[in-house]
Amino acid sequence: MEKNKFIETLKPRIKELKFSLYLLNRNWLTKVSFYIAILLFLLAIFSQVISPFPGHIMDEANVSQKLLPPTSVNFYGTDELGRDIFSRVLYGTRVSLTTAILSVGLALLIGVPLGAIAGTLGGWIDEVIMRITDIFLSFPPLLLAIALVSILGPGLENAMIAIALSWWPWYTRLVRGQAISMKERKFVQAAEAIGTPTWKIIFKHIVPNTISPVIVQASMDMGGVILTVASLSFLGLGAQPPIPEWGLMISTSRNYFPDAWWYSIFPGLAIFITVLVFNLLGDGLREILDPKTRKN
Amino acid sequence: MGKYVIRRILLGLIVLLGVVTITFIIARMIPSDPAAKWVGPRATPSQIEQAKIELGLNDPIPVQFINYVTDLTQGDLGRSLRTRQPVVDDLKAYIPPTLELVVLAFLIAIIIGIPLGIYSAKMKDRLLDHVSRLFSIGAVSLPTFWVALFFQLIFYKLLGLFPLGGRISTETTILYDIPRITGMLIFDSFVTGNWVIFKDALWHIILPCVTIALYPIGLVARMTRSALLEILNEDYITAARSYGLKESLVLWRYALKNTLGSTAIVLTLSLGYTLVNTFLVETIFSWPGLGNYVATSVVTLDYPSIMGVTIFSATTYILLNLIADIIIAMDPRIRL
Amino acid sequence: MSLFRKNIGILIILVLLASVLTGCGNASSSGESDQSEKRIAYYAFNTEPYIDLDPSSEYSNGLIVLHNIYETLTRYDSNEEVVKPLLAESWEVSQDGMIWTFKIREGVKFHDGADLNAEAVKKSIDRTKKLQLGASFIWDSVNTINVIDEFTVEFVLDYPAPVDLIASGSYAAFIMSPNTVDKDNQWFNEGNASGTGPYKIQKITKGEEVILEKFDEYWNGWKDNQYTNIMIKKVTEGSARRQLLEKGEAQIAASFSVTDLKALRENPDVVVNDADTWRNVIGFFNTEKAPLDNPDFRRAMAYAFPYEETITEIKEGLASKSYGLIPKGLWGHDENLPQYSFDMDKAKEYLEKSGVDTNDLKLEMTFTSGTEAYRNFAQLYKINLQQLGINLEIREMNWDSVWEKSKNPNPQDRQDIMIMNWWPDYASPLSWVQSLVRSEENVLFNLSYIKDPNLDKLVNDFEQFTAVDRPKAEQIITDIQSEVIDAAYFLHIYDDKTSWVMNKNFKGFESNPAYEGVVFFYDTYYGE
């Protein structure tokens, strides 16, 4: 009996999903960005296999071949230690995507429950959580990250923590707003009436229904986080050499700019395309998931 | 209404106190010895002890905190360990250049972004819409430091049109008396009619300004577009149209007015991110503003400066948010 | 009220707020806008031109500014390797090296009109000693300074020391007007100064630039084609400095990357001068933390470093091989000292000998960010060490963080290897051994944490013999270096060179390694 009930609850969800995919198909810009995003993830996973010079990613150097322009052997030229830039940019996809996912994930882990609790419970808990959120939001974002990294020391892991700590307030606000409007809905009131414990209401009813705007925000934030990590590395506070992180590469490339222009262009292009793709995806997802569009 | 404003101000103050507390804690956690830094590299232990007493570092932490907050209320942000000057004086010197950049960038963003957004909305789903949507999202996706390097490459190196960096040229600094009213060169020289300095300063500000403006342009365009689209679907617009009012009248007088509020608010909220971009751009264009000041303070672990800047920006942010909230309260038609 | 007007209102409020906050800005004393006859020399400097404008306490880049405003009693001539008279005309020393008598030049005026005399010299140096800041320790040997007559001053020492050399120092040896010795640090940092030097301060912008103007009554006189105004400005981007030179806006700059230098050498409008310096790059092994407390392990680490590749490829020849601690061109430099070179076989041999297990071994290397060479050789070193099974973690940080970490009271929390460059306070090898080798109770710059009483005694002996028995001093310094090399306390990476790039019309410049980064503008002139 239980299994049938479960399948019954799934049916409308599957229908929604199918409808979403249909809308996705119609909006070609979003569709294209979706496919490119998948391509990026594949690149990240298989970068070492695809790279023409996998050793150059971190383990080898070839200093006599330094700063050569793009050729058919080195598509993007070589860097100051003679390493193949194409291989490093490719691997950089993995670095950036991993960092972005972990940072956003951590921010979600902190922000979503806080927002759900604040919105559902209301009262003084809400006030306290909101004030804490405001405090964090008042910090200029990079300044907070810089301060945290100054304490913890530079490095990619610490940069991730710093970013997560700057980013979580946005999700809290978002989820809280959603939770407040959810509270009034019939099914929540029904659950309350039959005496469901509060935490179950929060996590089984409210959170799942606030997911869509969070997903949209999170996918758009992927782009923002990648830019922030690049900026931190650019300032020397994020990835340390020899990690092939795009921001770090651009920062290093400045010493050789504009003679070795290829060194700045290609990593920068990689950042731009990746961030663009996630922004387009997020923007498109928002239109798809927007109830108004779905009505039409 | 008044009650609401007072409540918001009180809440703002609480938030500010929270910011101060956290900044204080962070500053104390940064591993460094401010007393040693104050005295210099060859300090003897007794000199360091003396400095500790002078700087009030031997007092228990809660006492230090209370002293700090009391100083704050009198406008004293402490003394920079690096420049030995009061932080407030440092800020006075470094804020105007940054303000100049940001204000001008926002102006450009509004001038270009709003018409772009309007066109997008009018031509919804046609090619122009997609192109401009791509452009505005693109503008938001560009790594600012990359764009800055590019502009330098093209406009300075290749075309020789604009100067490389700095606020005014070497010769102008030495040969002319620079008017100092607000510290914002464009404004000061314009107001005093000093056209040589005005042109020089203008030429220097264009590249960094446009670089910073790209992100807000994208933001404003998108915001205008979506706000306009929402409004154009409203009933009163349909009503106006059915009365036979001209389309352009409908657009400009009714629809547009209501988008400006959301645009202003979105710009305010983007201030944080724009400041970050300004910071990076200042490094590349050797612009002597707050970004550069913060960079050096961070590099030298000058915690009074870092705290001073943080508190200043947090205060500004809270103030602007307060103003924004009050505007929303006064005019309920604005919805984000 | 329409929304539009509300928003404009906010904008106006913000602008007014900003103006109120900024008030009337700095007090800037600009000279008359007399555009006639001005010849400007612009030195684009890679970081802040000064930290502190107080001549007694500044111990950083400020020397590039201060050496044009103030003068010292003597100046070191690195070509002839002797100390030459400047504000002092002549001097003599007693047999035991403990009494030095200087004859002061007559007819010299300070910027504020005061006269240079023995009294002024005494007041200046007394002030520096009293403040006990910056490099004032160079005068530690001095007990009292006596004014013998108007132009004769006598230094009475506690132990023998080369006062003529000390007085030629880059730091803490400036002579300032007697009217300024009672002023505090803040007064100097507001841009006030009164020295005897050829230039005085016209305008300063804190942390950004210093503009100097010609001091007409300079005691050595002026010629037509010299520079009347000097601008020393912070331009952090190498590409920016390069472009300023290429467009002819700047007259001189340094610190360029290999690609910038290559392009600049090919530019006919620009002259490149590769000069030796007394600055060398040294790696410090944390001898208080395992496994670097093991001398054989350190020797293995020393053999694994890519010395040749660093000099040839990374520095592209703009560095010389290090022989011990003292750089080329300074006395005490001895090319007969044994050297480590890159030799993986020897490295493996010593690794085995040391008995250290490199499984899971992680070593942390720190250095100040911003020097491309450090970053590059660090990565090459990391690759070499991987062959020994060692994982080197590279941490680039700002100088303060690096230094703080190295001073951590718990040696286990410090870095394993630290990279730093060093140059002397005045023309003597003492600086290296005194600061880097002599044991310290509180960690300052002895960042290999050497605590060897034998070495300490040698260092103290060296200090004493420098003034009275130079050949003996040279022997001692060689002995110290041999011991230090054998124990592999340091990585002697390279002796650095500076490539000065200047406009082809900027003539008369000669690099002087005794004054790191200083351009003595008085010696330069505009030539076709």
Q: pLDDT tens digits for B21-43?
A: 887 877 777 666 666 666 655 55
The winner for highest mean pLDDT among B135-144, B223-232, C12-21, C451-460 is C451-460
Minimum-distance CB partner of B95 among C18, C28, C237: C18
pLDDT at B335 over 50: no
pLDDT at A206 over 80: no
Out of A251-260, B315-324, C234-243, C500-509, pick the least confident.
Answer: B315-324
Backbone angles phi, psi at A151, to 5 degrees: -75, -45
Percent of chain A predicted with pLDDT > 90: 13
**Of the candidates B321, B320, B312, which has an alpha carbon nearest to the alpha carbon of residue B72?**
B312
DSSP C175: B
**Token couple for C166:** 């000390």
Residue from C236, C237, C246, C257 to probe the interface with A (highest A Cβ count within 10 Å): C257
For chain B, the straight-line distance linking the first and the last C-alpha, in angstroms and rounded, comes to: 20
Distance from CA of C281 to the nearest CA of B (A): 20
Q: Are B219 and B267 in contact (CB under 8 A)?
A: yes
Distance of alpha carbon A27 from alpha carbon A34, whole angstroms: 11
**Token couple for C511:** 């690099």
**Of the candidates A276, A161, A285, which has an alpha carbon nearest to the alpha carbon of residue A211?**
A285
Distance from CA of B184 to the nearest CA of A (A): 23
> What pLDDT is stored for residue C27 in this prediction?
32
Taking CA atoms, what residue in C is nearest to A260?
C259
pLDDT at A131 over 70: yes
Buried b (16+ CB within 10 A) or exposed e, A191-225: beeeeeeeeebbeebbbeebebbbebbbbbbbbbb
Out of A183-187, B68-72, B301-305, B331-335, pick the least confident.
Answer: B331-335
With residues binned 3-state (H G I as helix, E B as strand, rest as coil), the percentages for chain C, rounded to 5, are 35, 25, 45
Which residues in chain A have their CB less than 8 angstroms from residue C263's CB?
259
**Of the candidates C342, C399, C391, which has an alpha carbon nearest to the alpha carbon of residue C371?**
C399
Number of Cβ within a 10 Å radius of residue C318: 18
> What pLDDT is stored for residue C213 in this prediction?
94
pLDDT at B153 over 90: no
Distance of alpha carbon C183 from alpha carbon C191, whole angstroms: 12
Minimum-distance CB partner of C30 among B91, B177, B293: B177
Whether A259 contacts chain C with CB within 8 A = yes
Residue predicted with more confidence, A281 or B248: A281
Residue-level pLDDT, tens digit, chain C, 528 residues: 344 444 555 555 555 554 444 433 333 333 334 445 788 999 999 888 988 899 998 888 899 999 999 999 999 998 888 999 999 999 999 988 899 999 999 999 999 999 999 999 999 999 999 988 888 889 999 999 999 999 999 999 999 999 999 999 999 999 999 999 999 888 998 899 999 999 999 999 877 889 999 999 999 999 988 999 999 998 887 878 888 898 888 999 998 988 889 999 999 999 999 999 999 999 999 999 989 999 999 999 999 999 999 999 999 889 999 999 999 889 899 999 999 999 999 999 999 999 988 888 999 999 988 788 999 999 999 999 999 999 999 988 877 778 888 988 888 989 999 999 999 989 999 999 998 999 988 888 899 999 999 999 999 889 888 888 889 999 999 999 999 999 999 999 999 999 999 999 999 999 999 999 999 999 999 988
Q: Are A281 and A34 in contact (CB under 8 A)?
A: yes
> What pLDDT is stored for residue B330 in this prediction?
67
> What pLDDT is stored for residue C524 in this prediction?
94
Cβ–Cβ below 8 Å for C404 and B33: yes
> What pLDDT is stored for residue C14 in this prediction?
56
Residue from A60, A68, A81, A234 to probe the interface with C (highest C Cβ count within 10 Å): A81
Q: Which chains does chain B touch, 3 or more C-beta pairs < 8 A? A: A, C
Distance of alpha carbon A174 from alpha carbon A133, whole angstroms: 11
Residue from C10, C21, C213, C243 to probe the interface with B (highest B Cβ count within 10 Å): C21
> What pLDDT is stored for residue B1 in this prediction?
64
Which residues in chain A have their CB less than 8 angstroms from residue C259's CB?
67, 255-256, 259-260
Taking CA atoms, what residue in C is nearest to B321?
C10
Percent of chain B predicted with pLDDT > 70: 79
Distance from CA of B111 to the nearest CA of C (A): 13
DSSP letters for C451-503: --HHHHHHHHHHHHHHHH-HHHHHHHHHHHHHHHHHTT-EEEEEEEEEEEEEE
Which residues in chain C have their CB less than 8 angstroms from residue B312's CB?
none
pTM here is 0.81
Cβ–Cβ below 8 Å for B143 and A250: yes
Close Cβ partners of A202 (under 8 Å, ≥ 6 residues apart): A113, A116, A117, A120, A179
CATH 1.10.510.10 fits B87-302, yes or no: no
Taking CA atoms, what residue in A is nearest to B158?
A258
User: Amino acid letter at A258?
Assistant: P
Residue predicted with more confidence, B259 or C192: C192
> What pLDDT is stored for residue C326 in this prediction?
94
Backbone angles phi, psi at B239, to 5 degrees: -65, -45
> What pLDDT is stored for residue C20 in this prediction?
42
Cβ–Cβ below 8 Å for B257 and C235: no
Number of Cβ within a 10 Å radius of residue B254: 16
Residue from C52, C138, C399, C400 to probe the interface with B (highest B Cβ count within 10 Å): C400
Which residues in chain C have their CB less than 8 angstroms from residue A259's CB?
259-260, 262-263
Which residues in chain A have their CB less than 8 angstroms from residue C395's CB?
153-155, 240
Domain ranges, ordered by start, for chain B: 87-302
Cβ–Cβ below 8 Å for C383 and A60: yes
Taking CA atoms, what residue in A is nearest to C258?
A256
Q: For A24-49+94-293, which CATH superfamily applies?
A: MetI-like (1.10.3720.10)
**Token couple for B111:** 């001038």
Indicate the helix (H) or strand (E) that contains C84: strand C82-85
Out of A134-143, A221-230, A278-287, pick the least confident.
Answer: A134-143
> What pLDDT is stored for residue A155 in this prediction?
83
Out of A26-40, A44-58, B322-336, C232-246, pick the least confident.
Answer: B322-336
The tens digit of pLDDT for each residue in B172-197 reads 666 676 777 777 777 777 777 778 88
> What pLDDT is stored for residue B234 in this prediction?
72
> What pLDDT is stored for residue B47 in this prediction?
67
Q: Are C215 and C127 in contact (CB under 8 A)?
A: no
> What pLDDT is stored for residue C239 in this prediction?
78
Distances (CA, A) of C339 to B70, C2, C416, C430, C490: 60, 80, 22, 21, 11
DSSP-assigned beta bridge partners for residue C317: none
> What pLDDT is stored for residue C429 in this prediction?
93
Average pLDDT for B302-307: 78
Cβ–Cβ below 8 Å for C235 and B286: yes
**Of the candidates B267, B255, B256, which has an alpha carbon nearest to the alpha carbon of residue B324?**
B267
Q: pLDDT band at residue A210, thresholds of 50, 70 and 90?
A: confident
Cβ–Cβ below 8 Å for A257 and C239: yes
Minimum-distance CB partner of A146 among B16, B29, B298: B298
Taking CA atoms, what residue in A is nearest to C256?
A255
DSSP letters for A123-167: HHHHHHHHHHHHHHHHS-HHHHHHHHHHHH-SSHHHHHHHHHHHH
Residue predicted with more confidence, A158 or A154: A158
Distance from CA of C507 to the nearest CA of A (A): 28
**Token couple for C517:** 């980064």
> What pLDDT is stored for residue B332 in this prediction?
58
pLDDT at B258 over 60: yes
Cβ–Cβ below 8 Å for B276 and A142: yes
Backbone angles phi, psi at C366, to 5 degrees: -120, 150
Q: Checking DSSP bridges between strand C391-397 and strand C362-368, what pairing results, if any?
A: parallel
Taking CA atoms, what residue in C is nearest to B181?
C24
Distance of alpha carbon A138 from alpha carbon A122, whole angstroms: 22
Cβ–Cβ below 8 Å for A258 and B157: yes
Distance from CA of C89 to the nearest CA of A (A): 46
> What pLDDT is stored for residue C13 in this prediction?
56
Number of Cβ pairs < 8 A linking chain A and chain B: 110
> What pLDDT is stored for residue C512 in this prediction?
93
Close Cβ partners of A214 (under 8 Å, ≥ 6 residues apart): A108, A112, A171, A174, A175
Cis peptide before A258 (omega within 30 of 0): yes
> What pLDDT is stored for residue C496 in this prediction?
94
Cβ–Cβ below 8 Å for B143 and A141: no
Interface confidence (ipTM) of the complex: 0.76
| SS3 (DSSP) at B39 | helix
Minimum-distance CB partner of C396 among A64, A150, A240: A240
With residues binned 3-state (H G I as helix, E B as strand, rest as coil), the percentages for chain B, rounded to 5, are 75, 0, 25
pLDDT at A5 over 80: no
Residue predicted with more confidence, B44 or C21: B44
Average pLDDT for B246-272: 69
DSSP C261: H
Cβ–Cβ below 8 Å for B295 and A29: no
> What pLDDT is stored for residue C420 in this prediction?
93
Distances (CA, A) of C283 to B319, C297, C359, C415, C424: 50, 15, 24, 12, 17
Residue from B137, B302, B306 to probe the interface with A (highest A Cβ count within 10 Å): B137
